[in-house]
Amino acid sequence: MPEQWAVFEQFATAILIGALLGIERERRKRAQRDVAIGGLRTFMMFSLAGAIGAWLSQQLDMPFILFGVLVLITIPVTVGYVLSVKRNPDSLGLTTELAAITASLLGAMVMMGHRELAVALAVLVVAILAYKEPLHGVVDRLGSDDVYAGLRLLIATFIILPLLPNQYIDPWNALNPYSLWILVLLISSLSLVGYVATRLLGEGRGIALTGITGGLVSSTAITLSFARQSRGQVMSGTAPALAGGILLSWCVMFARVVIEVLVVNRQMVSQLLIPFACMTIASAVLAWWFLRLSASRRRQMLDTEVVILKNPFSLTQAIKFAAFFAAVLLLVRLGETWLPKQGMYLLAGLAGVTDVDAITLSMAKYAHRHSATDVAVNAIVIASLSNTVVKAGIVVALGSNELRKLMLASVIAILTSAALGLWLH
């Protein structure tokens, strides 16, 4: 009896999967007044037929039964598609027909013992069907450069990475091409996430949103762009909003550093978290306060100029970053032998002037090798502060007088919070 109930549950799950897909197709058909092969009941039957075919194949030990059922299902699906195209020559899509075959396969999966996976895939299929317009909108937003960048990322991940040797190639055991390229892909992926978010949400959706999404791509680019905008007549009087956007991009940069360390050396995150939490909180509170001050100027906040963010991934840039990262790794490894702690901190400060990612990953690996967590944490904080001071210098050089004052006060607060965090950790 328990076995029969288990079979009934499997059939019921298969029917519910068909209903899930059928409801979405029925709604779409009525909304568009489309002549499709089926709706709710038809999809339930498709899924049930697949389940019955799989059950019979198992009970009679005849796998060809399921194959025959799928063939029989394909016939009416094909006929329905041909008739639909004859009535409406413009409707050349195969989405509903493929969904019907998918429903049959999912029903079969349930009976073959993969119920959880089948349900998860059914939910994913429904999401793909339901979000037609947003998905097409994403395609419309993509340019040829974005497509090529995505292809280059796939090439870098699935073609270049397997070809690299997974061993040290230098006498100091500092450079492992395979591990080095993985870290390059990590940085590129984080930047790509921010770029995609900016493209999906819109590049001109406001200073705060641009600061958050653009911070994943390049907080330096956000700082440079907002500093320049602060001098324009259109943006006059919006220095608090621009300062808030810059600080939000810095918050994202601080969070990004923690994520990178989490991937490379999880053990040191607990100590790194305190100083970076202090810097992030200080930046976030100041950003909130500046944006609140500018609330009365909401129109200018929404009409801010677009920050031009190019797709961050290219093989050339990846190779350049890999070379820079390799140089930093070599310097850190040589510094382990020849430099005292103060020398490592000086190296971190110099590296942070141009890029935080390379020194962050290098020091995380250094801490993992030598259990020198305190030195690594201090060095990463110094590099981040060095980078922050450089970006503050950009504001001083290019920003309006009001923006300069706000950002200089903010940098002092961030430096103070970093010192407090280092003392607490």
Q: In this predicted structure, what is the pLDDT of residue 302?
A: 44
Contacts of 361 (CB under 8 A, 6+ apart): 183, 187, 260, 264, 325
The residue-averaged pLDDT of 204-231 equals 77
Spatial distance between the Cα atoms of 233 and 237, rounded to a whole number of angstroms: 9
Q: In this predicted structure, what is the pLDDT of residue 20?
A: 87
Minimal CA–CA distance to 360: which of 400, 329, 388, 405? Answer: 329
The residue-averaged pLDDT of 288-298 equals 76
The residue-averaged pLDDT of 76-101 equals 72
Q: In this predicted structure, what is the pLDDT of residue 300?
A: 45
Q: In this predicted structure, what is the pLDDT of residue 409?
A: 93
Spatial distance between the Cα atoms of 219 and 306, rounded to a whole number of angstroms: 15
Helix count (H) and strand count (E) of the chain?
18, 0
297 close to 238: Cβ distance less than 8 angstroms? yes
Question: What pLDDT, in 10s, does the model give residues 240-279?
Answer: 888 998 999 999 999 999 998 898 888 888 888 999 999 9
Q: Residue 303 above 60 pLDDT?
A: no
Lowest mean pLDDT among 16-20, 105-109, 124-128, 193-197: 193-197
Question: What pLDDT, in 10s, does the model give residues 8-33?
Answer: 888 898 889 888 888 877 776 666 65
The 8-class DSSP code of residue 237 comes to T
**pLDDT cut 90: percent of the chain above it:** 14
User: For the chain, what is the mean pLDDT?
Assistant: 79
Question: What pLDDT, in 10s, does the model give residues 326-383?
Answer: 887 777 767 666 666 667 788 888 888 877 888 888 888 888 776 778 888 888 999 9
List the Cα angle 133/136/137 in 5-degree steps: 85
Question: What pLDDT, in 10s, does the model give residues 111-159?
Answer: 888 888 999 898 888 888 887 766 666 666 666 767 777 788 888 888 8
Token pair 């937003």 in the structure block, residue: 141
Q: In this predicted structure, what is the pLDDT of residue 89?
A: 63
Amino acid at 62: M
Q: In this predicted structure, what is the pLDDT of residue 232?
A: 62
Q: Count the neighbouring beta carbons within 10 Å of the beta carbon of residue 343.
A: 12
318 close to 281: Cβ distance less than 8 angstroms? no
List the Cα angle 402/251/331 in 5-degree steps: 105
What region, left, alpha or beta, does residue 2 occupy, with left being phi > 0 and alpha being psi -120 to 50 degrees? alpha
298 burial level (CB within 10 Å; 0-12, 13-18, 19+) = exposed
